[in-house]
Amino acid sequence: MEKVDIKSMDITELQELLQELGEPKFRAKQLFDWLHAKQVDSFAEMTNLSKSLREKLGETAAINGVKIVRRLVSQIDGTRKYLFALSDGAIIESVLMKYEHGNTVCISTQVGCRMGCKFCASGLNGKKRNLSAGEILDEILFMQKDSGEKVSNIVLMGTGEPLDNYDNVLKFLHLVSCPEGINIGQRHISLSTSGIADKIETLAKEKLQITLSVSLHAPDDETRSSIMPINDAYPVERLMQACRYYFDTTGRRISYEYMMARDKTDRPWQADLLAKLLKGRPAHVNLIPLNEVAESPLKPSRPETVRRFQQALEKRG
Ligand code: SF4
């Protein structure tokens, strides 16, 4: 019998599990506290639970988490980059960055990715599998424990398309912001998507307080489709319709990520079109210098082109 993934369970689900094991429901909060606040790796360490309950839990449930493979620490700014192995040996990456406004972690939601963005190394080998809610959470728990630093901001911008792992990511968002757990407020969480329009609308209905970050990267269908295959399924107009719905439903301003690629996304007419596209929408635009990937012909924009592009956007409000 496959063991249940106990770190992915919320308090209600833990109560149900305990009832099935013939135990009182109130133990669920203790169990949740051990897993999420005290962050133990084994049932044996849960000393306020009876020995028989710990044994029953060991037979029915598994505490799946990440194991460290490699850690790189920057001598300049203290950024910590982690290579983690999951229980089946799959590998993911996570990063902890230190800023004045607090520590931010960038985490993965899938092993690989199937979205095929042309500028991205993470998706080169396609998607292997989704991460469970508990595995996504454990990236943060591990980095917090390992660095001895409290994490205050989370960005779901590592490997994977979060909305392609919708249910587990939604579960994770509830677990990580749960007052009985590590309790990181939803306003401190950004979820980045390549633009799965119908999932953006589904997410809007949850009325979460998170920041939605849309990887737009080009304002016209021809360019966007040539670098992001998702644009064939959800062209720019359809995506913008979903973004409008997201703002109208949640009241949360959207961040638009825009990658500056030389002679591809950085042309003057694209700055004009981008400004036109976002006119009248509460929007934050983040111009990102392209990170060169050996397998991609895309090159970063020249610094003076980026400045001109920025000025063109500012001029148009
Ligand atoms: Fe890479 Fe994100 Fe695109 Fe996936 S969605 S291929 S992880 S940029």
Using the Cα atoms of residue 254, residue 259, residue 265 and residue 271 in order, give the sign of their dihedral.
positive
Question: What pTM was computed for the model?
Answer: 0.95
What's the pLDDT at 123? 83
What's the pLDDT at 185? 96
**If you measure from the C-alpha of residue 260 to the centroid of ligand 1, how many angstroms do you get, rounded to a whole number?**
16
Rounded mean pLDDT, 175-192: 95
**If you measure from the C-alpha of residue 265 to the centroid of ligand 1, how many angstroms do you get, rounded to a whole number?**
17
Choose one of 117, 156, 200, 298 to mutate for the ligand 1 pocket test, by most ligand atoms within 8 angstroms of C-beta. Answer: 117
Choose one of 114, 157, 161, 296 to mutate for the ligand 1 pocket test, by most ligand atoms within 8 angstroms of C-beta. Answer: 161
**If you measure from the C-alpha of residue 113 to the centroid of ligand 1, how many angstroms do you get, rounded to a whole number?**
6
| Residue located nearest, by CA, to atom 3 of ligand 1 | 117
Hey, is 28 helix, strand or coil? helix
Q: Please say if the pLDDT value at position 1 is more than 80.
A: no
> Helix 303-315 crosses helix 268-278 at what angle (to 10 degrees)?
40
Give ligand 1 pocket residues (Cβ under 6 A). Answer: 113, 115-117, 120, 122-123, 159-161, 194
What's the pLDDT at 293? 83
**If you measure from the C-alpha of residue 269 to the centroid of ligand 1, how many angstroms do you get, rounded to a whole number?**
26
Report whether 61 contacts 6 (CB < 8 A): yes
Rounded mean pLDDT, 15-30: 94
What's the pLDDT at 157? 96
**If you measure from the C-alpha of residue 161 to the centroid of ligand 1, how many angstroms do you get, rounded to a whole number?**
6
- Mean predicted lDDT score pLDDT of the chain: 95
Hey, is 47 helix, strand or coil? coil
Report whether 285 contacts 258 (CB < 8 A): yes
- Buried b / exposed e across 63-101, counting CB within 10 Å, b at 16+? bbbbeeeeeeeeeeeebbebebebeeeebbbbbbbeeee
Residue 100 pLDDT class (50, 70, 90 cuts):
confident
Hey, is 255 helix, strand or coil? strand
**If you measure from the C-alpha of residue 313 to the centroid of ligand 1, how many angstroms do you get, rounded to a whole number?**
25
* Ligand 1 atom showing the smallest separation from residue 159 Cα: 7
- Mean pLDDT check: name the lowest of 93-97, 178-182, 197-201: 178-182
Q: Please say if the pLDDT value at position 133 is more than 80.
A: yes
Cα–Cα distance between 167 and 138 in angstroms, integer? Answer: 17
| Residue located nearest, by CA, to atom 5 of ligand 1 | 161
**If you measure from the C-alpha of residue 13 to the centroid of ligand 1, how many angstroms do you get, rounded to a whole number?**
32
